[in-house]
């Protein structure tokens, strides 16, 4: 916690982004080192949004905690708030996530201990940290795809457009002892502050005003720098978008020898988004820019791709994240009220304002991985859920994501309804974590609304499956009720129907029956794509990862079966809905001999 002093403020009397970034990095590093027990360094900081400005005299509070440890790295959550000392009003300035790496002593790596989870919020952030990590790891692929699309667009040809070269700013800083952290590296927060300063100067050359930093598109640290290094900062405007401008900053480091030989080390890159206002607080419009070199053109189109990621967040990775996040958040909400208890079924409801949700908890005598395998295949749901009339796979997005089109039987007084849903699957990273099947509605151009059905929406639904023992599990089904789902639940809520209990009992019956059929059938265990172990039974479905080549995947499956003594692949069919261009999502296999 710190008071904002005049020395921390910029020309508008507001806390400068540079000091704030230093404080955020320092606080996050303290949390990381408290958990690791050794020195830690900043690896990256996710996209940062600045929602509020702090002024001189106000109080800044920064709360940090380690959300999850990934062997040698960890995610640290950062929450920045500002408090007015006169009114006690508190506002959120920013919520960010940073990745830190434990600095080893010697040649070996430091393996981090798991995070101790004490509260519901700890559990929620711990679960979502793995999803944010997926987005970080998949960001390059998403960006490259959007980059290909933006490359098809023409660059600005307006006569009054400003050349991007006019905005180029270079600054050199000598790293002195006050700029270093406690283990000799240049302090990451100091580098971020210098980057913000040079980027601000670059943006000001367009708006001729004092630009305001609104967001940062991922600080990425590629390597360390040390006391005595010369850091060269190159900033240039990549593109403008009416009321905002993106400035790219590249940081290169030199020691004395490298300085003479002109051999830089690329240690950091980031993209900073600025806006500007006039004396009345109205947003200024930035002039268009014109790239002049091939490198300028690349940066110009890269800015377009990054803006699409920031604004839409509708790429597969972000849709999957929001899908898993919504279900995890719903499951962790406090205040669930139990409304009915049967032998193996409990029903809970949760009301928050005008939003009603319900939870069905089922005790099932099957292993958790078997329940997950059966419940994650929505093509099988018609066998136990009478509300499902038809179910078709529209798109196998990835191994863990599918888009389905579902139709439901008509209810008296209502038109038949249909849903286009994204189903996201997650397996637990640790034994105490659940299997997750998250469901939400999406739009798909290939499946527009039909006059035969009333297109309805599922905001948040799905399963969490916890292992109770090697042969039993607890299946929890959640649904945040919408107008599209309400007709199927209205009679239940009034007590005139038991469809929820009946459906739950049918689900238990289906799971236990399928498991018993599997146990009585010849079985073989195979190593399938993605590195996980799957069990195939006679006449059953064997789910695997989607491969890039259908022929190659068929050949691979043939190799797996023939490599097992006494086993022959008798049948290999592709159920409807498989996309032959991407590889089949499921195959039906029949084996001649048991293990």
pLDDT digits (tens, 9 = 90+) for 271-315: 999 999 888 888 999 999 999 899 999 999 888 888 887 776 545
* Total Cβ atoms within 10 A of residue 283: 13
Residue 312's pLDDT is 62
Mean pLDDT of 397-410: 87
Cα distance between residue 582 and residue 545, in whole Å: 10
Residue 549's pLDDT is 33
Residue 485's pLDDT is 66
Which fold, 1-116?
Answer: Thiol Ester Dehydrase; Chain A (3.10.129)
Residue 490's pLDDT is 57
Long-range contacts of 564-572 (CB under 8 A, 24+ apart): 564/524, 564/526, 566/592, 566/593, 567/524, 567/591, 567/592, 567/593, 568/592, 568/593
Every domain of the chain and the residues it spans: 1-116, 151-312, 326-517, 523-591
Cα distance between residue 62 and residue 69, in whole Å: 21
* Total Cβ atoms within 10 A of residue 525: 11
Average pLDDT, the chain: 81
* Residue 9 host element (H or E): none
Please tell me if the domain spanning 1-116 has the same topology as the one spanning 151-312. Answer: yes
Residue 16's pLDDT is 87
Cα distance between residue 346 and residue 500, in whole Å: 10
Cα distance between residue 100 and residue 398, in whole Å: 29
Cβ pair 221, 269 in contact under 8 A: no
Long-range contacts of 478-483 (CB under 8 A, 24+ apart): 478/327, 478/330, 478/331, 478/357, 478/358, 478/359, 479/357, 479/358, 480/326, 480/330, 480/355, 480/356, 480/357, 481/355, 481/356, 481/357, 481/358, 482/456, 482/457, 482/458, 483/456, 483/457
Cα distance between residue 282 and residue 290, in whole Å: 25
pLDDT tens digits, 97-106:
999 998 877 7
The answer to whether residue 12 scores a pLDDT higher than 50 is yes
Residue 519's pLDDT is 57
Cα separation values, 529 from 292, 532, 541, Å: 46, 7, 15
Lowest mean pLDDT among 198-207, 455-464, 519-528: 519-528
pTM comes to: 0.69
DSSP letter (8 states) at residue 282: P
Mean pLDDT of 391-402: 88
The answer to whether residue 399 scores a pLDDT higher than 50 is yes
Cα distance between residue 121 and residue 332, in whole Å: 8
Structure tokens at 40: 């830690």
Residue 386's pLDDT is 85
Residue 65's pLDDT is 95
Residue 542's pLDDT is 37
Cα distance between residue 177 and residue 185, in whole Å: 9
Residue 559's pLDDT is 46
Residue 517's pLDDT is 65
Q: Tell which CATH architecture fits domain 151-312.
A: Roll (3.10)
Q: Tell which CATH architecture fits domain 326-517.
A: 2-Layer Sandwich (3.30)
Residue 153's pLDDT is 65
Instruction: Spell out the residues 6+ positions from residue 537 whose beta carbon is closer than 8 angstroms to its own.
Output: 517, 518, 521, 522, 523, 591
Coil, strand, or helix at residue 95? strand
């Amino acid at each position: 916690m710190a008071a904002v002093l005049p020395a921390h403020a910029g020309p508008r009397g507001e806390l400068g982004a540079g000091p704030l970034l230093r404080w955020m990095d320092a606080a996050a590093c303290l949390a990381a080192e408290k958990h690791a027990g050794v020195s830690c360094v900043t690896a990256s900081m996710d996209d940062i949004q600045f929602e509020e400005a702090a002024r001189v005299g106000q109080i800044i509070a920064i709360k940090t905690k380690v959300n999850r440890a990934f062997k040698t790295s960890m995610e640290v959550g950062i929450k920045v708030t500002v408090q007015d000392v006169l009114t006690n009003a508190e506002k959120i300035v920013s919520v960010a996530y940073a990745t830190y790496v434990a600095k080893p002593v010697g040649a070996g790596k430091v393996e981090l201990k798991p995070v101790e989870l004490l509260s519901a919020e700890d559990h929620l952030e711990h679960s979502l940290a793995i999803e944010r990590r997926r987005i970080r790891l998949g960001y390059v692929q998403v960006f490259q795809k959007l980059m290909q699309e933006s490359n098809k667009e023409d660059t600005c040809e307006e006569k009054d457009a400003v050349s991007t070269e006019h905005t180029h700013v270079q600054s050199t800083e000598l790293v002195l002892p006050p700029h270093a952290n406690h283990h000799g590296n240049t302090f990451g927060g100091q580098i971020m502050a210098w980057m913000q300063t040079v980027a601000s100067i670059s943006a000001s050359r367009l708006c001729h005003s004092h630009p305001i930093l609104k967001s940062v598109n991922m600080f990425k640290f590629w390597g360390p720098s040390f006391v005595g290094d010369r850091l060269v900062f190159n900033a240039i405007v990549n593109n403008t978008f009416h009321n905002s401008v993106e400035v790219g900053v590249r940081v290169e480091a030199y020691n004395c020898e490298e300085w003479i030989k002109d051999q830089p080390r690329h240690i950091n890159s980031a993209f900073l988004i600025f806006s500007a206002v006039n004396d009345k607080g109205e947003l200024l419009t930035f002039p268009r820019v014109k790239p002049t070199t091939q490198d300028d053109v690349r940066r110009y189109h890269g800015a377009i791709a990054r803006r699409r990621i920031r604004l839409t967040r509708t790429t597969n990775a972000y849709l999957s994240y929001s899908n898993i996040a919504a279900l995890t958040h719903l499951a962790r909400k406090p205040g669930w009220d139990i409304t009915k208890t049967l032998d193996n079924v409990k029903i809970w409801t949760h009301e928050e304002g005008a939003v009603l949700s319900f939870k069905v908890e089922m005790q099932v005598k099957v292993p958790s991985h078997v329940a997950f395998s059966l419940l994650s295949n929505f093509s099988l749901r018609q066998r136990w859920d009478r509300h499902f009339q038809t179910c078709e796979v529209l798109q196998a997005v990835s191994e863990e994501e599918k888009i389905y089109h579902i139709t439901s039987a008509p209810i008296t007084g209502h038109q038949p309804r249909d849903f286009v849903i994204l189903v996201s699957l997650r397996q637990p990273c640790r034994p105490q974590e659940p299997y997750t099947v998250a469901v939400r509605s999406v739009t798909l151009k290939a499946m527009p609304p039909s006059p035969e059905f009333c297109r309805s929406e599922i905001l948040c639904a799905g399963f969490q499956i916890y292992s109770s023992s090697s042969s039993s599990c607890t299946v929890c089904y959640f649904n945040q009720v919408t107008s599209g789902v309400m007709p199927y639940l209205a009679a239940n809520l009034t007590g005139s129907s038991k469809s929820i209990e009946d459906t739950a009992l049918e689900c238990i019956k289906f799971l236990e029956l399928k498991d018993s059929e599997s146990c009585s059938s010849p079985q073989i265990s195979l190593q399938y794509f993605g590195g996980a172990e799957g069990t195939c039974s006679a006449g059953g479905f064997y789910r695997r990862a989607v491969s890039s080549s259908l022929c190659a995947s068929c050949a691979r499956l043939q190799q797996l079966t023939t490599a097992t003594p006494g086993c022959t692949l008798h049948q290999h069919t592709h159920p409807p809905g498989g996309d032959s261009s991407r590889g089949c999502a499921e195959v039906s296999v029949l084996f001649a001999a048991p293990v």
